[in-house]
Amino acid sequence: MKQLYLALFLMTTVCFSLSAQQAKLSGTVKDTSGEPVSFATIYIKGTSTGTSANIDGVFTLKVDPGTVTLTFRAIGYKPTEKTVNVGGNEALNVVMTPESYTLTGVTIRPNAEDPAFEIIRNAIKNRKKHLTEVREFGADVYIKGVQKLVGAPKKFFGRDIQKTLDLDTNRKGILYLSESQSRYSYQRPNKIHEEMISSKVAGRNNAFSFNKASDLNVNFYNNLMLENVLSSRGFVSPIADNALFYYKYKLLGVSAYNGESINKIEVIPRREHDPVFRGIIYITDDSWRILGTDLYLTKSTGINLIDTLNIAQQFMRVDKTYMPSNINFKFNGNVFGFKFEGYYLGVYNNYDLNPNFPKGFFTGEILKVAKAVNKKDSAYWVNNRPIPLTQEERFDYVRKDSIAKRKESRKYLDSLEKVNNNFTVSKLLLSGYSINDRYDKKYLRLDPVLRSLFYNTVEGFGIKYGVTYTKELEDSKRYSIRPEVRYGFSNQTFTANLSSSYYYDPIKKASVNFSFGSGIYDLNRYGTMSLFSNSLNSLLFERNFSKFYKKNFVNISSGRELATGLQASAAIDYAKNFDLANTTDYKFVDRKDREFTSNNPFTPTADTRLFPDYKALTLSAVLTYSIAQKYITRPDGKFYQESRYPKLQLSYRKGIKGALNSDADYDLVNLEISQERISLGLWGYTSFMVSAGKFLNNAVVYYPDSKHFRGNNSLTSLPDLRKFQFLDFYQYSTDHQYFEAHIEHNFAGLITNKIPLIRKLKLEEVAGFNYLTQPDKRNYKEFYFGLQRLIFRATYGFAYDGNKKVQQGFRISYGF
């Protein structure tokens, strides 16, 4: 196999070279001690055409026959030029000399300010000029991503890690290897468009790389970088306007190249735990430009998920300015004993600083991945890959791609499914049992039994159980069918329903859904708490918070994108609704100071009817618009990115009187404006939602059709910006006008990061405000503050009716 692969490699290389009439220069870049110079840049002098060496210092570069001068650059080394007379494929080995930075002519007096400070001040003065001097450009970008596991426990949750992750006997190996080539276009202030030309992912022949050139666009001329990436707050640039408050600097030396003096400056944090970099930055005299960076972020700066991130960036001259030639993100970390490391390398080629983009070139589409980008064969990559693979990477591609090809066969998939589909009682009880047929793309999943069990005072002990069948079609289309049954042993009521959906256009996010049957549902259409949480509260604490009703129904709905950022959905629903009452007061623990309340939230001590049995034919429609929505287009769908602007949602719901004997007669209109994670720099981020609505007609509005709010009577809940902290689940639903507002700010460790020991927990401070007014609950307000970490949150708050405090206490939230 290896001999065959090598033969194909040589044949395709020769054929391509002859057809393209180009020669290939290849070789190694090493230092004077014989060690490879990793990721050195190699460019044809006077152009922006070039490449980068790989981690072993090996490079290849296509050039036209004739005399060519190459420039070799690497951080910490003297730039080296080589002139080569190219007639055919050539081998070229280069030795680079470490740069000698001297302090000759620089006077440093005791207790005097280091000369680096004056250089930095000049760089800060020129920051905005360098940030904005290039109005637009286009460039070819090659990206390689490698993630490796370098250590792992033998077992994790009882599973053999070596076999599960396909590692070697030392539990090491490449987890992810991908490459992509794109044409990247940019226009100030923030317009981008990228078109992926080719994509390859080891072991995933039909997958598309998630590489994005904009993700590598780290510009140290900005004041803050990497906001909402590795930290909610972002990190301060060494030449930010306020950089002198966060950094100290030390001039390590000065060197000269092409008539320019290059200052090597050490960047030193003033405080260990500030969100800042440390390392080396290279700045030229006179123009005060950044010529290179070798900067680090560590755990002490508050980065999440990884321990260390190194950003090495090199620039090259393009016309009268300097543009990035390559950028390398190297990282490592340790999570639950899994030690990992890796890098993402971006190489920029063929800059055009005067692209003259046509009108309408920039839209909301920031990345387009065409259908055929992952269909390029090995011959294409052999001849077009700008950075040679290492021996480890070549082996990973060959092994994983051959395995992936074998996995596509019916025989292999059948044998695999025979193991995966093996039935065990523990699967059925705890995690659910699946029967998969990946060859025909058919999947059947049975719900876990234990999660389907519940208890409430209306039904007693019960089970809600469903089975989901999914069939994947061509072009990422799919349909699913789910039957579900529910039975309560106390009220001896059996309900069953069937729901189905057909997702027929992934680009337009278009689907149609149909469901019918019967079921028991929460009186609050937003829900109050999970069946499991309500069961625990009822059985252990004698708190039956959730209230229920029954309905028989038929529902048809559809949704699709009308334009970029504009989603529309519509539904028609016919239901017969039934009031329910408690049928049991069983509990594990009898609390002497408590009693279960009735299923009518307005008469807690008596099970009076909340509403008569009635029929309702309901029509609803929703328009949602995200301002300046950005998105990625891939063959498997259209993926919206988090917008920098608010989202507007207009909804309308109508109860149609008379048709099909419908009793409902109302019209409800609602407008909502919301936005998540509005960045405030080092102060964290803010999220908000405001909503106003009115029943234009409320002739017949029974309780299930009222406007409900996301209340919270329980000590625990799921985190939700739209959820009140103390508002009753049911008491203040309305059939009149209303206005609600929610605003929350996350300080992202601004305070806790300054407290010893506490900072290790990486806690984030939150503070928020909720407001509601409607005819029966005027000027209701809540204030709260607390701490959160990942999916857990603890807050303390106060609730006021007007100016009267009505409640206060703790609330705990969890995201599972």
Q: What is the pLDDT of residue 781?
A: 97
Task: For residue 725, name the pLDDT band (cuts at 50, 70, 90).
Answer: very high
Query: Which residues, including other chains, have CB under 8 Å from residue 54's CB and lie 6 or more apart?
Result: 38, 39, 387, 388, 389, 390
pLDDT digit string, tens, across residues 362-385: 999 999 998 888 888 888 888 888
Band the pLDDT of 717: cuts 50, 70, 90: confident
Determine the average pLDDT of the residues in 136-145: 94
What single string gives the DSSP state of each residue in 715-759?
SEE---TT--SS--SSTT-BSS-EEEEEEEEE-TTTTGGGSTTGG
The predicted structure's pLDDT at residue 105? 60
CATH number for 2-96 (one of 2.60.40.1120, 3.90.1150.10, 3.40.50.300, 3.40.50.880): it is 2.60.40.1120
Average pLDDT value for the chain: 90
CA dist 261 → 108, 283, 323 (Å):
18, 8, 18
Distance CA 157, CA 356 (A): 57
Residue 692: pLDDT above 90?
yes
DSSP classification of residue 682? G
Q: Which long-range contacts (CB under 8 A, 24 or more apart) does 799-806 make?
A: 799/725, 799/726, 799/727, 801/777, 802/778, 806/726
The average pLDDT across 604-608 equals 93
d(CA 346, CA 325): 8
Cα–Cα distance, 733 to 439 (Å, whole number): 50
Answer whether residue 737 shows pLDDT above 70: yes
pLDDT band at 462; cut points 50, 70, 90: very high
pLDDT band at 4 (very low <50, low <70, confident <90, very high): very low
Q: What average pLDDT does range 493-501 have in this prediction? A: 98
In this structure, what token pair is assigned to residue 444?
């059947």
Give the mean pLDDT of 149-164.
78
- Give residue-wise pLDDT tens across range 655-666: 999 999 999 999
CA-nearest of 559, 566, 472, 470 to 512 is 559
Q: How far apart are the first and last CA of the chain?
A: 48
3-state secondary structure of 424: coil
349: left (phi over 0), alpha (psi -120 to 50) or beta: beta
Residue 177: beta bridge partners? Answer: 146
Q: Does residue 481 register a pLDDT over 90? A: yes
CA atoms within 13 A on the CB side of 213: 29
**CB 124, CB 281: distance < 8 Å:** no
pLDDT in tens, 576-602: 999 999 999 999 999 888 999 999 999
Q: Which residues contact 114 (CB under 8 A, 6 or more apart)?
A: 108, 248, 249, 250, 251
pTM score above 0.75 = yes
Q: If pLDDT is split at 50, 70 and 90, which confidence band does 110 have?
A: low
Is residue 313's pLDDT more than 80?
yes
User: Poorest-confidence range of 86-100, 135-149, 171-185, 791-805?
Assistant: 86-100
Residues of the chain with CATH 2.60.40.1120: 2-96
Lowest mean pLDDT among 55-59, 206-210, 304-308, 775-779: 206-210
Beta-carbon count within 10 A of 288 CB: 20
Give the pLDDT confidence of 528-585 residue by residue, as tens digits.
999 999 999 999 999 999 999 999 999 999 999 999 999 999 999 999 999 999 999 9
**Is the predicted pLDDT of residue 776 greater than 80, yes or no?**
yes
Helix (H, G, I), strand (E, B) or coil at 583: coil
User: What is residue 170's predicted lDDT score, i.e. its pLDDT?
Assistant: 80
Tokens of residue 376, six digits:
């390029």
Output the CA–CA distances (angstroms, integers) from residue 236 to 280, 294, 297, 567, in the order listed. Answer: 15, 15, 11, 37
Residue 55 carries which side chain, given as an amino acid letter? I
The tokens for 669 are 């209109």
Name beta bridge partners: 549.
521, 579
Residue with tokens 């959820």: 723
Q: Per-residue pLDDT tens for 392-429?
A: 999 988 888 887 777 777 777 677 677 778 888 988 99
- Split at pLDDT 50, 70, 90, the class of 7 is very low
Element holding 259 (H helix, E strand): none
What digits encode the pLDDT tens for the residues 247-269?
A: 999 999 998 877 788 999 999 99
Contacts of 534 (CB under 8 A, 6+ apart): 454, 455, 456, 528, 544, 545, 546
Residue 711 in 3-state DSSP? coil
Nearest to 671 by CA among 645, 693, 656: 693
Three-state SS for 400? helix
Looking at residue 10, its pLDDT comes to 33
pLDDT band, very low/low/confident/very high, at 21 (cuts 50, 70, 90): low
565: helix, strand or coil: coil
Of 351-360, 481-490, 571-580, 731-740, the one with minimum mean pLDDT is 351-360
Instruction: Kindly tell me if the per-residue pLDDT of 305 is higher than 60.
Output: yes
Check residue 816 and give its pLDDT.
58
pLDDT for the residue 108? 61
Percentage of the chain with pLDDT > 90? 65
Strand order in the sheet with 66-73: 50-52, 41-44, 66-73, 80-86
pLDDT at 100: 82
State which of 191-205, 222-236, 422-436, 485-499 shows the largest mean pLDDT.
485-499
Rg (CA), the chain: 32
Query: By CB neighbour count within 10 A (0-12 exposed, 13-18 middle, 19+ buried), where does 417 fall?
Result: middle
Contact assessment for residue 514 and residue 555, using Cβ atoms and an 8 Å cutoff? yes
Tell me, what's the pLDDT at 165? 75
Mean pLDDT of 9-21: 38
For the cut 90, the answer to whether the pLDDT of residue 171 exceeds it is no
CB atoms within 10 A of CB 763: 21
Q: What is the pLDDT of residue 16?
A: 37
Which residues does 786 contact at the CB level (< 8 Å), separation at least 6? Answer: 765, 766, 767, 793, 794, 795, 796, 811
